[in-house]
Chain A
Amino acid sequence: MDLRRPNRPVIGPKVRQVGFVTPDSAAATSSSSIPAVSAAAATSAGSPPSSLSPVMIPPPRHPSTEMSNPHFHPVGSYNPSEQILGSPPALSPSRSSRFDADGSDFGGDDDESVALSGVGGGMTPKSSLLMRQPVTKTAPLVSETHKRDSNVSKGKGDGPSAAPKEKLTKAERRATQEAQRAAKAAAKEAAAAGGAPSVSKQPKPATKPATQQKKDVPSGSGPLQPLAPSGSIEKKQGKKEVAAPHPRMQFDDMTKVGKLKKRAVVNQSEARNRVELFRHLPQYEHGTQLPDLELKFFQLDLIHPSVYQVGLQFLSDKISGGNARCIAMLLAFKEVIQDYTTPPEKTLTRDLGAKVGSCVSFLIECRPLSVSMGNAIRFLKNRISSLPHNLSDKEAKSRLQSDIDRFINEKIIIASKAIVEHGVSKIRDGDVLLTYGSPSVVESIFAYAHGIKKNFRVVVVDSRPKHEGQGLLRRLVERGIHCTYTHLNAVSYVMHEVTRVFLGASSVLSNGTVYSRVGTACVAMVAHAFRVPVLVCCEAYKFHERVQLDSICSNELGDPDAISKVSGRKNLNYLDGWAQNENIQLLNLKYDATPSDYVSVLVTEQGMLPPTSVPVIIREYGIERLWT
C-alpha cells in the first residue's frame, strides 16, 4: 500500500517563498503577463522597476507624493477635493488619522501607485469616467461653501507648517487648536443661521426644502462632507452616523412575531424541534410555503410580479450567493420602478419608498436579507428620498433606474473586476490555492489567473449540505485548472500543501469579523494554525457597521431536513422521522463568523486591507457616502 501522496504533475517541489518576494521577478511576471496592468505599468515606466509588492507597507505620508499621484483613491468623493483645496490632512485630526489608517494600503509610494493605477487601467473607460465623476461634482462646491471660507483659508494658512506632524511646535499646535475652535464657532453660527445649513453641501441644495433635509440626516444617510476642514462639523455629523445600527428582529419576542405574522404574505408554519439556542431566529417548515405562494400569485396586487418571482427564487434557493441575490433583487426593483405610476395626491418619493419597503418585507419573508442586499436597499431608499420634488415622474424613474444600474455596475461588477486584479497579484507560479464553497469572486480570480497562464493548482473544499463546491470544481476543471476536491473535515490533511487560502464573504462587519458561508471559519482557523495566509475577497458594498463576536447572535437557519438526508447515500437513514422525537434537533446553520485574526488580508476593490481597516472603509466609503 502506497501511503505517500502521489507527485502532483503541476506543482514541483514545494519551496515556499518566505517574506518579501524579490521585486524584480515579481514585477516582470506581473507587468508582462497581466495585459490590463501592462498599460498602467507603461504609464509609470519612468519610475524605477517597481512591483506589486505582496505586502503593502504604509510609507511615510507626504502631501507632495499624494499630490503627484493622480490615481490616488480611485473611488471616493472627497479625497480629490482635498487635493484641490490643498489642505493637508493634518488639519482635521480625526479625519486624517482615519485616512492614514486606510491610506496605508494605497500610500503614495511608487510601488503602490503602480498597483493602484493598474487597477484603474483595468477598468473600462466608462467606469473610470464614473469614478472620476465625484471630482467634478465636488469641485464647484468649493466655491459654494462661502460660509466656511474663513475656516478654509485658515486651514490653508496652517497647512504647510502643520503637515509634517513630527515638526509641530507648540505655537503651531496652538494655532491649529485655535483654528479648530474658530471653525467650531463658525459652524455653530452657521447652524443657528439656517435650518440645517451645515449639511447643505449636496449637489442640489437649492431644490431641496429644509424639511426633507432634516428627515434625511437622522436616518444615517447624511451626505458626505467633502470639505469639512474643522473637526466640529465632522464630529457633529459623526455623532449622527455613529448611531448604532437598527437592532434586528428577534424572533423570540412573541409580540413582535405576532405583529409580523399579521402582515405576512407568506404563510410559514413554525418548524418543530427547534434548537433552544436559536429561538431568536426565524425557522419555518421548508417546502410548505412554495405551492401556497404560487397559488397566491394572481391574487396579490400589492407585490410586483418580478419581485414575486425573485422572492420565490430565494425561497426555493434557485438564486443563492450574495452578489446574485443582490443583483436579482435590484433588477426586480428596477422593474417595479419602471411600472410605477404615482397615485394621485401622493408624492413619488414617499409612495415609492413605501412600495419598495413592502417589496423588501416580502423578500425578507422569503429569505432573510443578506447584508449586501440590505446595503443595496438602503442605497435605493436613500436615492428615492433624495429625489428633487420638481422632477417629473418619468425623469425620476429614469434617474432611479440609472442609479440602480450604476450600483450594480460599479459596486458589484467593476468592484469584482478590481478584486480580481488585486487577487491575481497574490497568485504565484506553483501556488496551491484553497477555497471553500463556491465564492463567485474567487472563482473569477482563479479563472483570470489561469487565463494569464499562471501555473497553480486549486483545492476545493466542500461541505454538506449544499455541496456548492462541486459546481465550482466542475467549472474549474472545465477551464483546465488542476483541482483537488475534498470535504471540510479533511481540510487539515490538505492544508499541508496549500500556500494560499482564498475565501469569499457574505459580509464583513466593522470589527473585522467576516460573516460568511458556514465552515469558512473552520477553514480560516485551520489555515491560521498551519500558517497559511488567508485572503478574504469581498466587495466593499458588503461591509456593514454592525459588529458581531460569534455566529449565534445573528445567523440564518436552513432546512433541518437537509441534514437528515445525505444526498447519494440512500442507506444513511438513521435520522428518518426525527421530527417525531422531541429529544433531537437538527441544526442547519447557514453562516458563521470568522474572527478577524484569522484573516491575513481583505481583498476589496479599494485595495488590500487588514481587517482592522474595515471601519475606515465603512466610514469613508460607506454605501450612502458615494452618490448623495
Chain B
Amino acid sequence: MPDVSDFILKLQRRRIEGSHATARQTAELLRSVVSQTRMPYTNQAASLLDAVRAVGEQLIAANPVELAVGNIVRRVLHIIREEDLSSSAVSFEGLMISEKSDDEDDADQKGGPVLSAAAVAAAARSTLRPRSLQTLLEDGPLPAAPSKSSSAGDSEGKSKSDKSAVGKRLKHSVIEAINLLIEEIDDCYEDISEQAVEHIHQNEVILTLGRSKTVKEFLYAAKQKNRSFRVFVAEGAPRYQGHVLAKELIQKGLETTVITDSAIFAMISRVNMVIVGAHAIMANGGVIAPVGMNMLALAAQRHAVPFVVVAGSHKLCPLYPHNPEVLLNELKSPSDLIDFGEFSDCMDFGAHGGAPLMHVVNPTFDYVPPNLVSLFITDTGGHNAAHMYKLIADYYSADDLVIKRKSTSSN
C-alpha cells in the first residue's frame, strides 16, 4: 500500500511533529487499511486484526519514540475486537431467540431471553478488559456467554449470505468506530479546555514550559471565561517553542512573561500552578514530556506547587516505562546547542584515537515520574497518576499490548 510506505517514511524522517498530528494521521491510515482489506468468509475479525497489526508493527518500528502511533494502532485493534464481539453478540441474540423458540416450555431458560443484546455486548466488552474485582463481580451472571457465542457462531454452520452480511457489517462498524476515534482526537482540546474554569481562578499565576496546543487551548478557555491571570512561559530550550506560545497568548490578551529555563527555580516560588502538556502518559502515570519537564516538576514539588498535565486520551500509552530517559528518548542534532563552525576543531575525530573529546547531548524528551504529577486532565476529566492504568484499561485490550504479527500457523 503506497499510503503506508509514504507514512512510514514520514515517520522515519520525523516529518510529522507532535503526537496529535501523528495520532490523527495514523488513525486515518488505519481506516484506509481497514477499508482496503479484503474480507475472507471465515474469521473476519482475525484477518482484520492481522492486517492492522502488520501495518501497525511497521509504523511503530518507523518511530518507536512516537508512542501515539502505537496507541492508535492499539485503539484500532481494540475497536475491531469490540465490534467483532458486539456483532457476534447480535448473532448470538438471534441464536438465543431461536433457542427460545425451540424449547419454550423449559422454565430454567427463562432467565436467558431476558438478556438484551446490549447487555451481551457489554459483557463481551468486559472480557476485553483485564480482570479486576469490578469486572469479576459484573461478570458473575454470565461467565461463559461470549465464548459460547463465538463457538456457537463458528460451529453452527450459517448460510453464506448471512456471513458476508456480518462481514460487511463488521468492516463498516469498524470504520465507523475509527471515524469516531478521529473525531475524538480532534475534539480532545475542547473537552479538556472545558475543564479549565474549574482549575484556573482569578489572579492565578501559571507557569508552563515550551509549547503545547492543549495548554494553549486550556488557557484560552479560562481567559474566555473572563478569568484574569498571569502566565509565565519558560522558553523550552533548545526548541524555544515557549516563544511561540507567548506570542499566541498575548494575541488573546493574556498577560505573559517569558522567562529562561534557568529561571524556573527562581520563579516557581511565586507560581500557583504549573500546567504543561505531555508527549505521552505511561501506564504507571509517568509522563514523557519535552526536555526540561523533570526539572520543572522537581521545582514544583519543592515549592508544593500543583503540577498539572493536560493531555488528550490519544497520549495514554498502555506500556509501563523501563529506563524511559534512554529508551523512550531521542537525541537530536548538536547544532541546536553549539555552532559547528565555532567548535569544529574540538570535534576532530582523528585527533584522539578516533574518539572525540567532546560530546554534545541534546535529548528531546524527559521522563517525569508519577509521584511528581499532581493531576492529569484528559478529555475524560481529571485523574490521579495512580489511576492511569485503569483509564488505559478502558481504551486498550490486554492482548494488544505487544503488537507482533502472529505466526502464520495461528492465522
A residues apposed to B, CB below 8 Å: 1, 3-5, 9, 275, 277, 462-465, 470, 473-474, 477-478, 480-494, 496, 518-519, 521-522, 525-526, 529, 550-552, 555, 563-564, 566, 568-569, 572, 574-575, 581, 583-589, 591-593, 595
Q: Flag whether B389 is at the interface (Cβ < 8 A).
A: no
> A522 to B262, Cβ gap below 8 A?
yes
Residue in B237, B259, B298, B358 whose CB lies within 8 Å of A487 = B237
Nearest-neighbour CB distance to chain B for A279, whole angstroms, equals 13
**Inside 8 A of B387's CB, which chain A residues have their CB?**
none
Does any Cβ of A come within 8 Å of B355's Cβ? yes
For residue B298, give the distance in angstroms from its CB to the closest CB of chain A: 5
Contact indicator B298/A584 (Cβ below 8 Å): no
- B326 engages A483 (CB within 8 Å): no
CB pair B243–A564 under 8 Å, yes or no, is yes
Segment 26-42 of B: residues with Cβ below 8 Å from A: none
A-B contact pairs, 20 of them (CB 8 A): A9-B355, A470-B338, A477-B358, A484-B361, A485-B361, A486-B360, A486-B363, A487-B337, A488-B295, A492-B325, A518-B260, A522-B261, A555-B266, A574-B246, A583-B253, A584-B250, A585-B258, A586-B257, A587-B267, A595-B302
**What 1/0 mask marks residues of chain B from 235 to 266 whose CB sits below 8 Å from any chain A CB?**
11110100110110110011111111111111
> Which chain B residue shows the least CB distance to A497?
B361
Q: Are B360 and A589 in contact (CB under 8 A)?
A: no
Distance from A505 Cβ to chain B, minimum over Cβ atoms (Å): 15
**Chain A residue nearest to B233 in the complex (CB):** A584
B360 partner, pick from A485, A552, A585, A593, beta carbons under 8 A: A485
Interchain CB contact under 8 A, B338 and A492: no
Cβ A463 vs Cβ B257 within 8 A: no
Residue of B nearest to A550 (CB): B269
CB-CB nearest in chain B for A567? B339
The listed residue (B253, B262, B327) touching A519 by CB distance below 8 A is B262
Chain B neighbourhood of A526, CB < 8 A:
294-295, 298
The distance in angstroms between the C-alpha atoms of A465 and B243, with both chains bound, is 14
Q: How far is the CB of B71 from chain A (nearest CB, A)?
A: 19
A444 to B359, alpha carbons, bound, how many Å? 21
Residue among A494, A522, A563 with the highest chain B CB neighbour number at 10 A: A522
Instruction: Give every chain A residue within 8 A of B342 (Cβ-Cβ).
Output: 470
- How far does the alpha carbon of A462 sit from the alpha carbon of B352 in the complex, in Å? 25
Q: Chain A residues near B298 (CB, 8 Å)?
A: 492, 525-526, 529
Contact check, A566 vs B302: say whether CB atoms are below 8 A apart.
no
In the bound complex, do residue B366 and residue A493 qualify as a contact, i.e. CB atoms below 8 Å apart? yes
Q: How far is the CB of A433 from chain B (nearest CB, A)?
A: 14
A572 touching B360 in the complex, CB below 8 Å, given contacts A563-B235, A585-B256? no
Q: Is the CB of A486 within 8 A of B258?
A: no
B247 in complex: contacting residue of A464, A552, A568, A574, CB < 8 Å = A574
B241–chain A nearest beta-carbon distance, Å = 9
Q: Which of B260-289 contact A (CB under 8 A)?
A: 260-267, 269-270
With both beta carbons as reference points, the residue of chain A lying nearest to B248 in the complex is identified as: A574
Contacts of A587 in B (CB 8 A): 257-260, 263, 267
CA A240 – CA B126 in complex, angstroms? Answer: 78
Bound form: Cα–Cα A589–B262 in Å: 9
A41–B244 CA distance with the chains assembled, in angstroms:
60
B291 pairs with A493, CB closer than 8 A: yes
The list of the 9 closest CB pairs from A to B, nearest first, reads: A519-B262, A489-B292, A551-B266, A592-B266, A492-B294, A521-B265, A574-B243, A486-B361, A463-B262
Besides A464-B237, A482-B359, 5 more A-B contacts (Cβ < 8 Å) are A470-B338, A485-B360, A489-B291, A563-B260, A569-B240
Collect the chain A residues with CB atoms within 8 Å of residue B255's CB.
583
Q: In whole angstroms, what is the CA distance A491 to B296 when docked?
A: 11
- Check B338 against A589 for contact (C-beta < 8 Å): no
Q: Which residue of A lies closest to B327 (CB)?
A: A3
**Count of A-B residue pairs with CB < 8 Å:** 191
Complex alpha-carbon distance, A489 and B338, angstroms: 15
A552 and B266 within 8 A (CB): yes
Q: Is the interface of A mostly helix, strand, loop or mixed?
A: mixed
What's the minimum C-beta distance from A4 to chain B, rounded to whole angstroms?
7
Question: What CA separation (Å) do A101 and B327 show in the bound complex?
Answer: 47
Render B329-363 as a binary contact track against A, CB cut-off 8 A, 1 for contact: 10000100111001100100000110101111111
Q: Given A552-B269, A572-B243, A575-B243, do A485 and B358 touch, yes or no (CB 8 Å)?
A: yes
B357: contacting residue among A477, A525, A563, CB under 8 A: A477
Q: Which of B235, B243, B294, B358 contacts A483 (CB 8 A)?
A: B358
**Nearest opposing residue in chain A for B63, CB measure:** A1
A165–chain B nearest beta-carbon distance, Å: 39
Q: Choose from A5, A477, A486 the contact partner of B346 (Cβ within 8 Å).
A: A477
Which B residues are in CB contact (< 8 Å) with A478?
A: 346
Let me know if B366 and A489 touch, CB within 8 A.
yes
A527 to B182: give the CA distance in the assembly, Å: 42
Nearest CB in chain B: distance from A607 CB, A: 28
Whole-angstrom CA separation of A581 from B337 in the bound complex:
29
Tell me which of A487, A550, A588 has the highest count of chain B C-beta atoms within 10 A of its own C-beta. Answer: A487
Chain A nearest CB, measured from B179 CB (Å): 33
Residues of B within 8 A of A551 (CB): 263, 265-267, 269
Q: Would B266 and A583 count as touching, CB distance under 8 A?
A: no
B6 to chain A, nearest CB (A): 20
Answer whether A518 and B262 are a contact pair too, CB < 8 Å, given A493-B325, A584-B250: yes
Q: How far is the CA of A592 from the CA of B265 in the complex (A)?
A: 8
Question: In the bound complex, what is the Cα–Cα distance between A487 and B270 (angstroms)?
Answer: 24
Asked whether B337 lies within 8 Å of A486 as measured between CB atoms, the reply is yes
Query: A485 contacts B359, CB within 8 Å?
Result: yes
Is B299 among interface residues, defined by CB-CB distance under 8 A? Answer: yes
Contact yes or no, A518 B263, CB < 8 A: yes
Q: In whole Å, how far is B87's beta carbon from the nearest beta carbon of chain A?
A: 40
* Cα(A168)–Cα(B249), bound, Å: 70
Asked, given contacts A481-B357, A551-B266, A575-B243, whether A465 binds B327 with beta carbons under 8 Å apart, the answer is no
Neighbouring A residues of B254 by C-beta, 8 Å: 583
Output the residue of A474, A489, A550 with the most chain B CB within 10 A.
A489
Residue of chain A at shortest CB distance from B299: A525
The residue from A463, A489, A550 contacting B236, defined by CB atoms under 8 A apart: A489
Rounded to whole Å, the gap between the CB of A581 and the closest CB of chain B is 5
CB pair B257–A275 under 8 Å, yes or no, is yes
Please state if A584 and B291 are interface contacts (CB–CB under 8 Å).
no
Give B383 Cβ to nearest chain A Cβ, in Å: 24
B130 within 8 A of A: no
Chain B residues with CB below 8 A from A521, complex form: 265-266
Identify B329's interface contact among A481, A488, A493, CB under 8 A: A493
Q: A487-B337, A585-B257, A587-B258 are in contact. Are A522 and B359 (CB under 8 A)?
A: no
